[in-house]
């Protein structure tokens, strides 16, 4: 433990230089592993620095040309929709794990929409606050890659498909198409032919990828009654859509939800309508979390390692900051974990008729 010093005085390189009997430059060389000092001096300087509890001032570092030792992360979400969500916290946790090794800070900001997000990038850039950023929720016609290119701010797009128009950006993505194909395969193997995909925001790139894949898979397998419905990701809308499709004629026998939260909400809605899961209806959640094991029946879910996803993204950003080339990295395809909410499609008779009286589909 260092000896008790007067409280609010940070040690500087000058202090170290004085104590070690060398110049400030020597201290700088010593501490940054640069040639120009003897090993003996280097060791001595290191020792003094350690003893003083010295850490480089990021401000001074940033000012003299080094980076700000910080990366940025913006979450564009209307405050109202910030709900139950395990994905982001896990993602951020993974990101941190990697950044912390290099003592990089994470500047985090929640904003209302993408326009605000762009404003934040501009400000961060002008204020010299971050060395790079992590971008989530890429969307069709996204203004962000172009902006980041213009600012030459290193960036990694998380969850986007590779984008050739902005070769400066790295991309880390999960293969939604492959996952969707596997889900459809699994469901058709169980005999399901009427599948509804309750998707997220229509503007997001991965929503569109999933919808496109579903359509293609349905065409390939000759499934006529397959559709996607987009939502705002809220549990309320998920429940409403679920009620609507289940009450309609030729109700689906399987529902695929784009998030665990929507799946849980949908499950409750289905139960209210008297549908028994998985006997009458199979349910799959895209995104696994404790939530899936907190409802009855337990939800089958597409699981991916969000923490690892974050780590991968952070590593790519580090590579970029080190001057490496932009790359596109694909993380493992989400695995379908079959629990209790999926089962063989009912074969007795195709369900039909508009109104369901709530006493149950087969009664």
Please check whether residue 294 is in contact with residue 333, taking contact to mean a CB–CB distance below 8 angstroms.
no
Contact in structure between 306 and 91 (CB atoms under 8 Å): yes
Contact flag: residue 51 with DNA (CB under 7 A): no
Question: Quick one: which H or E segment has residue 270?
Answer: helix 260-272
The reply on whether position 46 binds its own copies by CB under 8 A is no
Residues in the chain: 363
**Structure tokens belonging to residue 169:** 């950006």
Q: How far is the CB of 126 from DNA (least distance, A)?
A: 8
| Cβ distance to DNA smaller for residue 37 or 198 | 37
Which one of 1, 7, 189, 322 is in contact with its own copies (CB under 8 A)? 7
Binding flag, residue 24, DNA (CB under 7 A): yes
Show contacts with its own copies in window 220-239 (CB under 8 A): 234-235
Assess 324 for contact with its own copies (CB under 8 A): no
14 binds, among its own copies, DNA, none (CB under 5 to 8 A by kind): DNA
Q: Does 84 bind its own copies (CB under 8 A)?
A: yes
Provide the Cα torsion 76, 79, 85, 91; round to 10°.
30
Contact 268, 299 (CB under 8 A): no
SS3 20: helix
* Phi, psi values for residue 72, rounded to 5°: -110, 155
Q: 222: left (phi > 0), else alpha (psi -120 to 50), else beta?
A: left
Query: Which of 291, 302, 320, 331 lies at the binding interface for its own copies (CB under 8 A)?
Result: 291
CB under 8 A: which stretch of 31-39, 199-207, 284-292, 314-322 binds its own copies? 284-292
Task: Find all residues with CB under 8 Å of 88, minimum gap 6, and list them.
Answer: 75, 136
Q: Which of 16, 30, 48, 96 binds its own copies (CB under 8 A)?
A: 96
* Site residues, its own copies (CB under 8 A): 7-8, 10-11, 53-63, 68-70, 77, 79, 82-86, 88-90, 92-94, 96-97, 100, 103, 105-111, 122-123, 125-129, 150-152, 234-235, 261, 264-265, 268, 271-272, 289-291, 293-296, 307
């Amino acid at each position: 433990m260092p000896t008790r010093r007067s409280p609010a005085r940070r040690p500087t390189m000058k202090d170290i230089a004085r104590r070690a009997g060398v110049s400030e430059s020597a201290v700088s060389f010593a501490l940054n592993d640069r040639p120009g000092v003897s090993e003996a001096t280097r060791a001595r300087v290191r020792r003094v620095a350690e003893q003083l509890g010295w850490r480089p001032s990021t401000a001074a570092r940033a000012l003299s040309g080094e980076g700000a030792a910080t990366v940025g992360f913006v979450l564009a979400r209307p405050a109202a929709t910030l709900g139950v969500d395990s994905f982001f916290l896990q993602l951020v946790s993974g990101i941190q794990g990697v950044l912390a090794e290099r003592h990089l800070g994470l500047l985090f900001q929640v904003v209302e929409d993408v326009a605000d997000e762009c404003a934040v990038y501009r400000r961060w850039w002008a204020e010299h606050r971050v060395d790079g950023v992590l971008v989530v929720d890429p969307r069709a016609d996204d203004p962000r890659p172009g902006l980041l290119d213009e600012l030459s701010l290193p960036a990694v797009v998380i969850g986007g498909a590779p984008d050739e128009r902005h070769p400066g950006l790295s991309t880390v993505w999960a293969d939604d198409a492959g996952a969707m194909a596997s889900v459809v395969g699994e469901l058709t193997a169980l005999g399901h032919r009427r599948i509804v995909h309750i998707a997220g925001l229509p503007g997001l790139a991965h929503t569109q990828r999933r919808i496109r894949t579903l359509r293609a898979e349905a065409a390939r397998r000759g499934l006529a009654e397959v559709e996607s419905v987009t939502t705002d990701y809220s549990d309320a809308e998920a429940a409403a859509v679920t009620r609507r499709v289940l009450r309609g004629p030729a109700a689906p026998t399987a529902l695929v939800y784009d998030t665990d939260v929507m799946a849980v909400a949908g499950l409750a809605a289905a139960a209210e309508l008297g549908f028994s899961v998985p006997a009458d209806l199979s349910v799959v959640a895209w995104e696994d979390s404790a939530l899936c094991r907190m409802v009855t029946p337990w939800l089958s879910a597409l699981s991916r390692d969000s923490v690892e996803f974050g780590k991968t993204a952070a590593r790519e950003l580090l590579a970029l900051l080190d001057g490496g080339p932009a790359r596109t990295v694909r993380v493992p395809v989400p695995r379908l974990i079959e629990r209790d909410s999926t089962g063989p499609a009912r074969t007795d008779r195709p369900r039909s008729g508009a109104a369901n009286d709530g006493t149950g589909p087969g009664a």
